[in-house]
Each structure stands twice: as structure tokens, then as C-alpha cells.
Amino acid sequence: MSKKTKGRRRGQERSRIKRRRPSTAKDNSTLERDILAALHRAGQPVTEGQLQELLSLPRAAAALLQTALKHLLQQGKLVRKGRRYLSASGQEEVHGVVDVTSKGYGFVLLDGEEKGGKDVFVARTNLGGATHGDTVALQLLGSTRGRREGVISRVLARAYTRLCGIYRADATGGSVEPDNERLPYTIRIGRQDALAKDADGMAVLVDIVDYGSEREKPRGKISEVLGNPLDASVQLRMAMLAAAVRDSFPAAVLKEAQDLQELKECEPGREDLRHLAHVTIDGEDARDFDDAICVVADSSGYTLYVSIADVSHYVRPGSAIDQEAYRRGTSVYLPDRVLPMLPERLSNQLCSLIPGEDRPACTAILHFDHRGRRKKERYVKSMIRSKRRLTYTEIDRLLYQSQDEDELAARYGDVLPMLKQARTLTSLLKKQRLARGSLEFNVPESEIILDGSRVRSIHRTARTQAHMLIEDCMLAANEAVAETLARERRPVLYRIHEQPDPDKLTVFIEAAKALGLELPKRARGNTEHIDSKWVAEALERAERSPAAYVANNLLLRAMQQARYEPDNVGHFALGAMYYLHFTSPIRRYPDLIAHRALQGWLLASRGKQAAGGLPDEASLVEVGQHLSLCERRAIELGWDVQARMAVLFLHDRIGEDFAATISGVGPFGLYLELNESGISGSVPVESMQDDYYLHDSRRFRLIGERTNRIYQLGDQVLVRLEEVRLAARRLLFSLQDPEEKNAEP
């Protein structure tokens, strides 16, 4: 036999061997059953090699074994822990929501456990097809290094059935990259999709029709072409869709609002306060005015009237308006629009304290002595008539800047004496508040100005003394109502704020020491017994040093998230034993609950029965969780919008230099805030080519190994914009002129 013939036969033999390998669905399912049985017999986790020996599989079957293992993992029948496998059967199953990181692994917050607790780690290989936000069934695997681990066995509910993204056409149709980096996949769009024809490069809204598998990408259908992703209005729409906020009211709600009868007379049971010099104080662009103040001085001290629009008169429990307001939980404020909690007829008309118009209100009448200590309080349903609609700018000019007194008297003579009394009282209230440990963080916010479809400017704004005047009045009313309802044991939602995170406080203390900041002595020498007075003193000391920026930011990060609960535990940041939200029922549902609780108590004190609709303490737990979640969603939407507007504002300014402050230091680089705008960005460590930088985590700095050059938290630096990543909302910078990094910008 020739060598050529032998070679051909050997090739045919190899082909026959390949064809004899198991390849049908039946053969695969048999192998999977064998795997599960072998793991059950083993009774302990085994490696792939050990499993191959247990099943007596030849080396040629290694690829088939790997395929079967992947399929079992995807189905949740198998669990992988490191390099070892074990059967998922018999493991404890719990439910929760998965939070997938941009790196691909996830954490599950279990049902019934508070956010911020010890969630469960899920490796990338154990996600079981779940994506960020999905509600899942999870099997616990025990703990590694103190953290619980688990494997997702089933997806109970999908968080995303539709999403936004940028459509890219290709030869087979196209794909959409989700506008969320926590969703690490693209969605295939078929070539037959009618809306895909002219959508290449456009932002689109996609309905997911098939979530795919580990081997197949999800498939979707374009339901709407949103427009050019560089258009500010398109990015705002994408942010709103991603947050699932409501931007219109159901017809039944609008009809109910339109049918409401305006209260124009001071009905029986209301106190007529129309003679008082009430004023509203808001920003220049405010459209709804739900709070008004008046201060009267006498020989015993000061009387503060805080009159809040009586939303509860119009919004009755269980009505269509009430149900929709509860679903929304809060109004949402965006750069060019407001997504109100209540229909415009209520928020901008019936419940807006328009100057010269009679309006029903709920008034807190608070009496203070000459030192600013509250001595007594009274609450009434009232009828008021605002004398002036004033702005923060006007109040600053009237009360805190040198002006021509004769001119002011001529223009504001009807309210100026009252405003001066308010200035005196609020300075006393602030002094009392700071003395007990109320915190005042000096962290300016950014204001975004749009001009049609483009971002015209982003700049920092600072709170003025006018802001603080009205804020001290509102704080006083909120505290008084909270204390009254607590004393009378009336179920209500308190605004609670717990002790700071001890570990994060330790981080702050170490950073302060590294920067040479002398801190107050700690009670019992540890962070668990630090009170708000200690934090307030630390902030005050930092304000007088170069460490002010670091102190404010690190202490702010250490603070817990405030929330709504019926069980009062006080408000740490305000140093207050009692606190709730009462002063903005137009835009916050918890305030409406407080109004109803207060008015229920007022009726009961006169021997009358409340109209109903007051939740008991048990149901308030669930209500508080829902409203806290609504607030968090609104905050996160605000952050998302800020990031989107920032990349639009700077997308065509690559190569420009900016003065910045280092706001964070990590092993992967520096985090920045641009001084003029407050826009956030980063300097990747790989872009710092002048040296090899080492991360000093204890002192929050990077140190050049050769040059010993240091970049530390709080340093002033000059940076150049190098890259704008629109989809990820990221701005990448490079450092300029390292020798001048500590120079004043």
C-alpha cells in the first residue's frame, strides 16, 4: 500500500473518530445527567479534571465536557466556586435584586435586608443570564473572606424590557449598544426592522423580544428613533426613559384636577391670617410657591409664621390625583423642565401662593425668645395672602449688601421691616442649631443652562445668605411639627439620618492626619461614638486650613443616606432629635402625609373625627420604603443628567486646558472636579508617562517612583481634555505642567 493511500485512510479514520463524538441534543443531555450524578456521588466540589476522571471520559471529550458544564451553569443546575464545580440542588434559595458592576460580576441585595448591609457576591460565571436590576432566585454557597457568595438559579423578573442606545447598522441588520455600561451586551436588530432604515448613528428606544443566552445575543425591535445623541433634549429623554419616570399625567388625573373647585373664602375652621405680611422667597426661575413666611417681633421675642399651601384640602386620600402623586413620590427637577408630582393646575395655580391671591394654607406659628429658643408652638388651617414674590437675589440685596436705605424703603416699604426681623431671628436660629451640632457642608452645586438643543454653560453656584434665611425657617417648622407629632404619638413618616459609617469615618480621620489637620478628641477613642458636634467641629477646623475641600468631601461620603421611616431615630446631620418633611407638599409626598397627620391630630384635639386616609404605623413602613426609593431614583436621575450634559458641553473641546481639584485617588489614576464648572473626570494612571506611580491608599496619593512627585487628594492641577466617551458619560484628561500643580488656578 502506498504512503499516499495510507495517509488518505488515516485521514478517513480521523474523520470517522470525529463523527463518533457525541453531538446530538440527546447525547448532550445524557452527559449533563451523568455530570450531576457524579457530583452528587462525590459530595464535595471537584475540578474539571477530577470530573473527567469520575466520568471516565477520554481526553478527546474535554471540549464536550466544557460545553455541558457551561450549559448547566447557565441553567442554574451547577455552581462554580473558583475552579471547582458542585451541584446547585440542596442549596438554600433566596430572592433579591442583582446589581451588576461594569466589570461583569454582581452583588445581590436580598429581600428584607437593608441597603448598605452585607449583600451577596455573584461571580461573572454564576450570573445565570441575569442582568443589572433583575429580580432573581439565588442559591447561597457559603462565605469567602467574610463575604457571602451565591449563584443565580433563575431570573424572576427582568428589570429591562426596553432600553435606549445608539444604533449601528451592519451587513446583517444592525445592533444597539445599551446606554448603560452595566448592561454588558449588544442587542441584535433584524434587517427587516422598519425603523432601522434611517437610524444609523441615532439614539433609539428598543423593546427586547428575546434575552438570548450565553451563546446568543439578545434580540430587539426599535420602537422609536429618538434623534441625534449629541442633542441635549435627546439625552434628557434618554435619561428619563432609563429612570422610568413619568413625564405626563393620565387623563383621569388631569380631569380630576380640572374639576377641583378653588377655595376663595376663609371657611369656618380656618384662621384668617391675610393681614400678615407673608412673602415667598424662591429662585428667579421658580414657577410654584408653596411656602411663605412672616416674622413678628414683640417684647417677649419673635413669632415665626411658616405658611404652607394646603395641598391636603384639594388632594383627598385615594383620589386619582393622590394615587398618581404617591406613585411619583416626588417632583423631579431637570435643567429645562420639571416633572411635577402634582398636575400643573394644583402646583402652579390652586396651591401656589401667588402674591395678592387668597390661598388656603396650613400654618405653623412658632414663638421664640430673644435667644432663638422655641418656647411654644401652635398649628392652624389658615387663609393667607402673600404680599410679595421675592427672589434670593433680592433678599441678598435687601438684607446682606450695602444699599440706599431710602430707595429700599420706597420699593419694599411694605415688607422691609418684617424681613429685617426675619434676618435677626434666623441668625439666632442658626446659632442655636450650630451649637447643638448641626452640620454645614461647603459643597457647591453645578447649574446647567441649556440653549435649545445645546448646553450653553455649566457653572458652580453657591448658597447665599438668602438661601440660608429661608432654610432656617423651614427647618424650624419641620422640627416643631415632628416633635409635636412624636409627643402626641401620631403615626407619621420621620426624616431619619443615622450615625455615619464608622469605617468611612476612620478613612476621614487617617486622611486628616496625613494632611496635618488637628481633629477634636473622640469620645471613648473610637468612631462608633462620634456625635454630630464632633463632626461639626472637625468641619470648622478644616475650614480654616488647606484641607477644607478634603474634609468636606470625605465627611460627606461618610454620611449615611437619609430616608423616611415611621420609627424616629433622629437626624444626625441636623443634630435634631425630631425631624420630618412638612414644608413642601406640592413636590414631596411625605410632606402631604405629615399635613394629614397634623390635621388629624388637630381635629382629634377638638373632639372631631379625621376624614380618613391616615396610614397606621405598620403600613407606613412600606410607604416609607417606597418614597425613599422614589427620592433615590430622582437623585440618581439628576446625577445621570449632569453627566450627560457634561460630556455634551465638552465633547468638542478636546485639547483645551482646565484648572481642576483632585477629588479622589485610586490605583488606576486620579479623579477630578473642574474648578469652574464642577464637572467630574479622571486621569488614567497609564497616561502619566513621566514616571511609574505607586498608590499610597492610606494618604490618598500617587507617588512617582523615580521623581518622588506626589499627587494628593485636594491638590490643584492643570489638566487637558483628551477623550470624551459619550455612551459611558466619561471624560478623560491628562496632567499638564506638573511643576505647577499646586499653583493657584
Locate the DSSP E strands across 237-290.
271-272, 279-282
Q: Are residues 333 and 275 in the same domain?
A: yes
Domain membership of residue 591 (yes or no) is yes
CATH of the domain at 682: 2.40.50.140
Domain membership of residue 14 (yes or no) is no
Phi and psi for 392 in degrees, rounded to 5? -60, -40
Q: Are residues 171 and 151 in the same domain?
A: no
Q: Are residues 666 and 735 in the same domain?
A: yes
Question: For residue 114, is pLDDT > 70?
Answer: no
Question: For residue 64, is pLDDT > 50?
Answer: yes
The pLDDT tens digits of the residues spanning 469-516 come to: 999 999 999 999 999 999 999 999 999 999 988 888 888 888 787 777
How many CA atoms does the CB half-sphere of 199 hold within 13 Å?
Answer: 29
Task: Output the average pLDDT for the chain.
Answer: 87
Reported confidence tier of residue 10, pLDDT bands at 50, 70, 90: very low
Q: Are residues 149 and 279 in the same domain?
A: no
Phi and psi for 384 in degrees, rounded to 5? -125, 165
Burial of 92 (0-12, 13-18, 19+ CB in 10 A): exposed
Nine cell digits for residue 43: 459530595
The mean per-residue pLDDT over the stretch 384-411 comes to: 88
Domain membership of residue 4 (yes or no) is no
Q: Which residue among 541, 559, 577 closes a domain? A: 559
Reported confidence tier of residue 89, pLDDT bands at 50, 70, 90: low
Q: Are residues 360 and 468 in the same domain?
A: yes
Question: For residue 53, is pLDDT > 60?
Answer: yes
Q: Which residue has the higher pLDDT, 130 or 276?
A: 276
Domain membership of residue 676 (yes or no) is yes
Q: Are residues 375 and 477 in the same domain?
A: yes
Domain membership of residue 15 (yes or no) is no
Q: Are residues 551 and 422 in the same domain?
A: no
Q: Which residue among 528, 559, 590 closes a domain? A: 559
Domain membership of residue 6 (yes or no) is no
pLDDT at 421: 97
How many domains are contained in the chain? 6
State which amino acid sits at residue 294. C
Reported confidence tier of residue 727, pLDDT bands at 50, 70, 90: confident
712, 654 Cβ separation under 8 angstroms: no
Q: Are residues 629 and 658 in the same domain?
A: no
Residue 403 carries which DSSP code? -
pLDDT at 21: 39
Q: Are residues 438 and 481 in the same domain?
A: yes
The mean per-residue pLDDT over the stretch 250-279 comes to: 96
Q: Are residues 594 and 735 in the same domain?
A: no
**Distance, CA of 392 to CA of 467 (rounded, Å):** 6
Q: Give the global pTM.
A: 0.83
Phi and psi for 450 in degrees, rounded to 5? -100, 150
Reported confidence tier of residue 743, pLDDT bands at 50, 70, 90: very low
The pLDDT tens digits of the residues spanning 436-479 come to: 999 988 777 899 999 989 999 999 988 899 999 999 999 999 99
The mean per-residue pLDDT over the stretch 262-288 comes to: 93
3 state DSSP class of 680: strand
Q: Kindly report which listed range (26-35, 472-481, 485-494, 540-549) carries the lowest average pLDDT score.
A: 26-35
Q: Kindly report which listed range (57-61, 111-115, 167-171) carries the lowest average pLDDT score.
A: 111-115
Nine cell digits for residue 272: 384668617
Domain membership of residue 234 (yes or no) is no
R_g over Cα of the chain? 31
Question: For residue 354, is pLDDT > 70?
Answer: yes
Nine cell digits for residue 280: 415667598
**Distance, CA of 516 to CA of 602 (rounded, Å):** 54
Residues 6+ apart with CB under 8 A from 648: 230, 232, 235, 454, 455, 726
- Highest mean pLDDT among 317-331, 428-442, 610-624 belongs to 317-331
Q: Are residues 399 and 309 in the same domain?
A: yes
Domain membership of residue 104 (yes or no) is yes
The mean per-residue pLDDT over the stretch 568-582 comes to: 96
Domain region containing 403: 251-495+568-639
Q: Are residues 435 and 312 in the same domain?
A: yes
Question: For residue 742, is pLDDT > 70?
Answer: no
- Highest mean pLDDT among 281-295, 361-375, 544-558, 605-619 belongs to 361-375
Q: Which residue among 580, 611, 639 closes a domain? A: 639
pLDDT at 683: 97
Pairing of strands 374-385, 271-272: parallel
CA distances from 277 to 270, 418, 512, 691 (A): 18, 7, 48, 66
The mean per-residue pLDDT over the stretch 88-92 comes to: 64
Reported confidence tier of residue 352, pLDDT bands at 50, 70, 90: very high
